[in-house]
Amino acid sequence: MTPGPAPRICRAEPGAPSRPGVMGSGISDMGEATAPPRKRLFIRSWGCQMNVYDSGRMADVLAPLGYGPAAAPDAADMVILNTCHIREKASEKLFSELGRLRAVKREREATGGRMVLAVAGCVAQAEGAEITARAPWVDIVLGPQTYHRLPEMVARASRAAGAVVETDFPAESKFDHLPEAGAAAQGVSAFLTVQEGCDKFCSFCVVPYTRGAEYSRPAAAVLAEARRLVAQGAREIALLGQNVNAYHGDAPGGGTWGLGRLLRELAEIPGLARLRYTTSHPRDVDDALVEAHRDLPQLMPFLHLPVQSGSDRVLGAMNRGHTAADFLRVVERLRAARPDLALSSDFIVGHPGERAADFDATLALVREVGFAQAYSFKYSPRPGTPAASAPHAVPEADKDARLQALQALLRDQQEQFNRSLVGRTIPVLLTGAGRHHGQVAGRSPWLNPVHLSAPGALIGQVVPVAVLAAHTNSLSGTLAAGAAMADSSQRREEPAPA
């Protein structure tokens, strides 16, 4: 699930709006406090939007202990590195940062101070023993399902001779023990985790081993948190989950709700203009979800739907549980329900056993579907996954050539999609100040970043923007006539730009 907008064909997970102070290209940092706290906390997040959400909740958990955000790790009393294990070099990036922080920690101790250093997230879950062996100056190692225990871990770390390690999968849900989301609102666009874990066990993926089995939060808890976010100023909420459309949460009054029903209930919240969700699995797109795309103007006409490969042979080796034709049928159903729907996806090239003909099938699928954006990577083995020990490894030179060819095609499609918006007036949710004086930034219904000159007082509103120019990763335009407009492309007679 992904960080900021640098080339969108090359990142890990699809974008959703970022929490203020949690920004960056692949790395997100909790920002600076407006008033000095009693203790200073710095959290650095790598990877997906769920990690950004988790970092915010860790800050909420530690707030009662007096921790508030620091501007930089050097100024912090506690530093948390919230890690991602999707990419091959994630561990080495972590150990490089830990080496730098070791020097900071020593300097603090030399002056009689103390800095608590914690490693959280999926690398901590998968490689906790290696972290404590290679970096014994780390005080706390915690997995994604245990951060509700952070206050206890901090207390134990103050007494322990070695690292406090919590990488089990507790029987209780961490969500049952978390405080309400902090008063430091996420801003106009907010994340809300509704589902965690994965039961799909794709051959290349570590998520089932680092995040555990699929778990869905009760619908009442999700609705309550969504109402709090809207009360704090959110106009758009992105629902998060490793397989978010596998959501089946306990319903108020008994039974369960799927994601389609949950979206319908969320759409009833006054003041909530936009809904999104990520990341999805093609196997979990059911009729109720398709109908939600048809019926809900608040549900944005943009969907991230990973396919990974266009070859049935490779999809079988990946244990994806669907064929290329299955994926195309899902796309057809969604586009029939919502003609203006645009798609994003994930692709892996060079999975063990992938042949030239398999890669050609991937290119054929990309040409048939047409993507507004996509994320593509070379296969890299993740320890403990079935694919890591699979035979018939693809040479790196072949992986490089295939990735280059795929990304060129995806880039052309993305640029074509963006150009198709030039000359149109589209609804844009203004989310914050732009890079230049007098400029504001926002998001189109299709998640394009949009830059324009407009009064800052309009931030938080959905305004009509005449698109003047398209760039690889963004649009620029001007405020069209009228102060605001109804959101969510209610002009559904227009199909998605081609």
Query: Mean per-residue pLDDT for 450-462?
Result: 96
Residue 426: predicted pLDDT: 98
Q: Decide the pairing of beta strands 27-29 and 39-46.
A: antiparallel
Q: Could you tell me if 66 and 166 lie in one domain?
A: yes
Domain boundary among 143, 170, 197: 170
Q: Could you tell me if 180 and 308 lie in one domain?
A: yes
Domain boundary among 372, 397, 420: 420
Inform me whether the pLDDT recorded for 25 exceeds 90.
no
Q: Could you tell me if 217 and 159 lie in one domain?
A: no
Residue 489: predicted pLDDT: 43
Q: Which residues pair with 42 in a beta bridge?
A: 79
Q: Which domain holds residue 224?
A: 175-420
Q: Decide the pairing of beta strands 439-443 and 27-29.
A: unpaired
Cα-based distances in Å from 98 to 31, 48, 118, 157, 356: 20, 20, 10, 17, 41
Q: Could you tell me if 207 and 287 lie in one domain?
A: yes
Asked whether residue 494 is assigned to any structural domain, the reply reads no
Inform me whether the pLDDT recorded for 293 exceeds 70.
yes
Q: Annotation-wise, does 48 bind a ligand? A: yes
Asked whether residue 80 is assigned to any structural domain, the reply reads yes
Q: Annotation-wise, does 202 bind a ligand? A: yes
pLDDT tens by residue, 221-237: 999 999 999 999 999 99
Asked whether residue 488 is assigned to any structural domain, the reply reads no
Asked whether residue 154 is assigned to any structural domain, the reply reads yes
Q: Annotation-wise, does 205 bind a ligand? A: yes
Of 191-205, 325-339, 343-357, the one with minimum mean pLDDT is 191-205
d(CA 83, CA 44): 8
Asked whether residue 414 is assigned to any structural domain, the reply reads yes
d(CA 288, CA 239): 17
pLDDT above 70 covers a percentage of the chain that reads 86
Q: Which residues pair with 27 in a beta bridge?
A: 46
Query: Mean per-residue pLDDT for 428-457?
Result: 95
Q: Could you tell me if 429 and 409 lie in one domain?
A: no
Q: Annotation-wise, does 84 bind a ligand? A: yes
pTM for the model stands at 0.81
Q: Could you tell me if 202 and 216 lie in one domain?
A: yes
Domain boundary among 405, 420, 435: 420
d(CA 59, CA 42): 9
Query: Mean per-residue pLDDT for 10-16?
Result: 34
| 35 vs 315, residue with greater confidence | 315
Asked whether residue 493 is assigned to any structural domain, the reply reads no
Q: Could you tell me if 219 and 321 lie in one domain?
A: yes
Residue 181: predicted pLDDT: 60
Of 212-221, 327-336, 367-376, the one with minimum mean pLDDT is 212-221
Q: Could you tell me if 255 and 398 lie in one domain?
A: yes
Where residue 435 falls among pLDDT bands split at 50, 70, 90?
confident
Q: Which residues pair with 215 in a beta bridge?
A: 196
Cβ neighbours of 464 (radius 10 Å): 18
283: domain CATH number? Answer: 3.80.30.20
Q: Which residues pair with 2 in a beta bridge?
A: 15
Q: Could you tell me if 444 and 407 lie in one domain?
A: no
Q: Could you tell me if 212 and 336 lie in one domain?
A: yes
Are the C-beta atoms of 155 and 149 separated by less than 8 Å?
Answer: no
Query: Mean per-residue pLDDT for 45-70?
Result: 88
- The domain tally of the chain equals 3
Q: Could you tell me if 224 and 370 lie in one domain?
A: yes
Sequence-separated (6 or more) residues with CB below 8 Å from residue 257: 219, 247, 248, 249, 251, 265
Asked whether residue 487 is assigned to any structural domain, the reply reads no
Residue 182: predicted pLDDT: 55
Q: Which of 29, 139, 123, 23 is nearest to 78 (CA)?
A: 139
Asked whether residue 268 is assigned to any structural domain, the reply reads yes
474: domain CATH number? Answer: 2.40.50.140
d(CA 324, CA 313): 10
Residue 220: predicted pLDDT: 97
pLDDT tens by residue, 344-384: 999 999 999 999 999 999 999 999 999 999 999 999 998 88
Residue 401: predicted pLDDT: 98
Q: Annotation-wise, does 122 bind a ligand? A: yes
pLDDT tens by residue, 90-128: 778 898 999 999 999 999 999 888 999 999 988 898 888
Q: Could you tell me if 161 and 211 lie in one domain?
A: no
Where residue 147 falls among pLDDT bands split at 50, 70, 90?
confident
